[in-house]
Structure 1
Amino acid sequence: MSASDGHALLTIALLARPGAARERLREALDHAGARVVFEDDPTTLELQALRDADPGAVLIALEPAIEDALERLDPVLASPSLTLIFDEAELAARRDGWEAQRWARHLVAKLHGHQDVLPPGSEQDQQLQPEPGLPTTPAELHADAPLEFHLREAADAAPEVPSDGLYQAPQDLSEPVSLEEALAALQPLPDAPGMPGIPVPAPAADIAASVAPIAAIGDHSRWSLVEDHVVTTTYAPAAEAAPARFDIDRLSLVELEPDTGIEGGCPGAVLVLAGIGGPDALRRLLAALPESLTTAVLVHMRLDGGRYGNLVKQMARVSALPVVLAEVAQPVDAGQVYILPDDVGIAGSQGGLHFIADAAGIRIEALPAAHSAVVLLSGADAGQVDAVLALAGAGAWVAGQIGEGCYDPTAASAVVAAGQDAGEPPQLAATIAQRWGVDA
């Protein structure tokens, strides 16, 4: 990134309706060191005023009331040289404390084009250098702190420590006390003459005689798992009459796959997984895909608040392919981009793929490996890497995003390190078009 490009990213326009969300976003921009050159309500904003401000980036607080306004501002917002950053207005208004600081750090990283999203104070962790030799042991750390002084101090203070008033050992017993002597001291006896209510210790021999002898553990002659008196009965099942012939009238062949009743659907799909930093990467990927794609594109990106309808509208502005929201019992048709909610999965049948209701969401193993691909963009769930690599071992094409725009590369870097393809979103889109284009 050149210096001029970095300067352009620091000039930003804030489009949000007046309220708490707008105030919080302005504070985050101030913390990021951005220079706000324009700030207005998108519902009343004039298109020429936004064009004259010439910002390098635009931060938009999304809410249903501004959907029509964004359509009107699309001639400016669709510019490839403009960086768009979206945030949910409702979440921005409620974001506070640690969550607000975390979002501000990610905004700083996006505007300045780096991947440092850790809080202040973590810089020293990156400067640690390995040194030869064994680490310092706990004994070496406390070599100058001997324990003898504390022991002597505890012995001197012991007489002043209050004693336990719940139990006092009998004066006529000396330590160590045997078990019989301790039991005898605790047994209450009849009052002594002239001293009512004062228990007198009984002789140890009397206590020992009153205790029933304990049977040896090895004596198991009297053990039993059943009652002494058991009434048994003999059960003789009635003889069943043998069938005159083998009944085959109700036998039938079972279908290997249930009939879903859903016609159509392509045999495979390209699954795109994304998260933090994913909207920008997804926007660049879809913008580079051709209209003549012969497979379907499934997009799974978790959003705070689940506003997947807004994501459909945002991506439809840049994609040459139709972008729709996936619905249960709908076939997966080629040449479409489907945004998957959290509770929608996929299943295969003889006719092709279709969407099903699944609380666990998309399952990687449900994709036919020979006809499918998985692309991991910024913020993809690292917990799905093993399933993705297993699908790659079965023959699927798998790739991960690299480059400065990947703000959370954990999952993408894992598949690249495992030997899968890597590239920027436009490069990955070119490979997809080459494999599933009209001429492929």
Structure 2
Amino acid sequence: MLRRIAEIKNVGTFSNCVARHIGFEKITLIYGRNTYGKSTLGDIFYSLEKNEADVITARKSIPVPIDGCAQSVKLQFASDDENENQGISYFRGDSWAQGLRESHKLKIFNDAFYHDHVFASRKFSRETKVNFSQFILGAQGVARANQIKDLRSDKRNHTARKTTLLRDVFADVGNIEAFLASPLIDNPDQQRAQKDALEAEKHELVKQRGGLGIIRNRPELIVLTDDYTSLIRFFDEINGIFSTTLDTLHEQAKTQLVAHVEKNFAQSRGGEHWIQQGLKYGKNENCQFCGQALLDDALALLGSYRQYFDDEFDRHDAFVKQELDRIGACIETNIFMEMANNVKLNWQYWERYPDIHEFEAVKQELGPLSQAIDVLLNSANRELIAIRSAFTERTQNKRAKPHYEVERLNVEGISGSIAVLGESLDAYNTLVDRITCI
């Protein structure tokens, strides 16, 4: 059954009818005065039942609506177990775009039914309707109808203009009626000039506020630290270990051991360690290989060995190796290249501050100082690499013979570079602190 008339536009007296809030029951009575649209409803239902679009197109509203003559009808049908949205019939573009479903029944018994079954013809063209309307209304009525049409058009245009003004011009005005009732300005040109000046001032303030945000988000320059100064202490400790000897060793045993190693070993390096390990395997005065008793000369030689490799030797050997491992790790640093990278970053950071009034003056100081420090850092890094290489080579010799003195590291060059670097860093960091305070 028909549940609702959702929409009728530009059909007969219904120029823009939206009645979706009114529902139909099993028995619904529609009544009204003449020309109020009862016959129009009958024709709409008849057009849907027969799928004859010309019944509706012949009933375009008179006068022509201000939004054109496009016609549309939307009816909602549903049986007891259906939803209204499942049975929607549309009239669009001079045809029923969506007609009745098979489950819906519609039978119309209006004057059209009688004309179809009783009279020979029922033709009433639009031109006839227009002429008939003008005849009934008369010239004055037609003029009034056109005047109403024009007034409606003007009202719609003014409403659209009002909406645009409220959105684009008066959006910041709290009470529009009070604003419109305010007195006119005596000198509009002066007021307009003041307004333009205030707008320009506002623009500059907004620009400055945005600039302050950009400046706050810029990175600050990095202060260079002097963590490298500990390298001098490490170098002194290394040279101290390289210079250590085992003074408690007996010179006679030492001489005899050295002579034996040179005579009986293809390579003297590592010979002492081999003998030291061998003594640990001996349990008595017999040979460790064949078990025979050793002669007096052999026993005397073993006694010299044992005297040489006493507990003090083991303690000294362990101390040297442990210290070389510890200090060797301390000089495996890349501190100078990290500082050089920070110098480059500081220069890049300062390039982002061209809007500061002291930019060029600071740049003239920062540039040469950065170049000088970069040269010193690269020089110190090369010297550090050379020292690490010498340390590796001499450490091997010291590990093989921990009780012998090995050549000390030459650290005069890097010590001088570090001293000069310290003076330059003081000037550099002073400039960085001054930049931070700008």
Normalized against structure 2, the TM-score is what?
0.13
Larger helix percent:
2
Larger strand percent:
1
Larger RCO of the pair (alpha carbons < 8 Å, separation 6+) = 2
Larger Rg: 2
